[in-house]
Structure 1
Amino acid sequence: MGDIEPGALVLRRAEPADRTALAGTDPIAAAGDPTRRASIRRWCEQGLALLAEDSRGPVGYGVLEYTFFEQGFLTLLTVVPGARRQGVATRLLTAVEAACTTPKLFTSTNVSNQPMQQLLLKSGWRPAGLVHGLDEGDPELFYLCPSENLSLSSTLRTFPDTVIGKESRI
């Protein structure tokens, strides 16, 4: 994949028909993991996945659920290697913040995942805790989205569709 042209990235809610394409952007699903593939199917069917795509197709996705103490939780954010460091993850993160309908939004990442930690800190998220034992030898860091990101976006509950120039519900 080459560089993503400014304005060529579209963010939208993934539909059930997108599940195969999403699985292709996810390294765990692409490797054939049946559990991840089942999760992707469920996320698409339940409208929980936000898809980022350009003219060549999907380049990443994020999943927003409400299973973490009934608060928003960014369960997964992934971007294909050829589209990284081009603003895709930042746009997905902002879309998740805009879509969240609870007063708090959390996420977690492994200690070893430095790029995700950098993205979260750059976006103003604050460390909220550390859990050992989920992935052996690689603790999980939890983060909390700043309330001002949510209060700003929560009044809109939409994000701009940069290709067709209209507001899209998520």
Structure 2
Amino acid sequence: MSVEIRPATPADLAAILALDPVARREERRHDYVSRAVAGDRGMDVRVLVLDGDLAGYAIMAEFFGHPFLERIYTGERFLRRGVAGALMANIEANFEGDRMFVSCNESNEVMRTLLVARGYRVSGMVENLDPGDPELFFVIFRDALDAAIEAATLD
């Protein structure tokens, strides 16, 4: 099995859009992903390629001057294979600054579980982005990531 995580290129756009059913049916998501791949507003898109197939993508941006994981998506046929975790590990190893933020809907139990397992903690909540489903914001500090990496190398 070969795994590659790398910055997205314009040549990846069609595969990213094909992977994400929301981007296929909603012009707003389609345009957002297209702008992100083009580097609009300094966004950085990472893709994970598994055995030659694009399996997931992540979009990084900025949130009040700090790195912010705006979107992470795993293709349906690649779920439960560690794609999101691998993308997050890559991002965590490479972000600049002392903290990084990410958000997800309160209803997104899978993402909330992943974040808590990776050491993120709730930092706040915003109502009314998706009515009836608040957006939870999480943070992880560089010190916590460094300590986790050190502990893993000592094991």
Shared fold per TM-score greater than 0.5: yes
**Relative contact order (alpha carbons < 8 A, sep ≥ 6): 1 or 2 greater?**
1
The CA distance in 2 between the partners of 1:17 and 1:58, in whole Å, is: 12
CA apart distance, 1:56: 4.0
The CA distance in 1 between the partners of 2:50 and 2:147, in whole Å, is: 27
Do 2:122 and 2:139's aligned partners in 1 also have CA atoms closer than 8 Å?
yes
CA apart distance, 1:14: 0.1
TM-score (norm 1): 0.79
Match of 1:48 in 2: 44
Match for residue 112 of structure 2 among 114, 117, 136: 117
After superposition, residues 1-170 of structure 1 pair within 5 angstroms as 5=1, 8-31=2-25, 33-46=26-39, 48-66=44-62, 68-148=63-143, 150-151=145-146
Deviations 1:82-136, CA, capped at 9 Å, x for gaps: 1111111100011111221122210100011000001000101111111111100
- Runs of at least 5 residues in structure 1 that lack an aligned partner in the other structure: 154-170
Q: Specify the SS of the correspondent of 1:102.
A: coil
The CA distance in 1 between the partners of 2:50 and 2:101, in whole Å, is: 27
Percent identical among aligned pairs is 31
CA apart distance, 1:55: 2.2
The CA distance in 2 between the partners of 1:26 and 1:143, in whole Å, is: 24
Bigger helix fraction:
2
Match of 2:151 in 1: none
The CA distance in 2 between the partners of 1:149 and 1:22, in whole Å, is: 31
Q: Structure 1: which 4+ aligned runs deviate by more than 6 Å?
A: none
The CA distance in 1 between the partners of 2:57 and 2:23, in whole Å, is: 13
CA apart distance, 1:151: 4.7
CA apart distance, 1:35: 1.5
- Runs of at least 5 residues in structure 2 that lack an aligned partner in the other structure: 149-155
The CA distance in 2 between the partners of 1:21 and 1:82, in whole Å, is: 14
CA apart distance, 1:148: 2.7
| Aligned alpha-carbon RMSD (Å) | 1.7
Do 1:19 and 1:41's aligned partners in 2 also have CA atoms closer than 8 Å?
yes
Question: Which deviates more, 12-21 or 34-43?
Answer: 34-43
The CA distance in 1 between the partners of 2:84 and 2:129, in whole Å, is: 24
Match of 1:165 in 2: none
Q: Specify the SS of the correspondent of 2:37.
A: helix
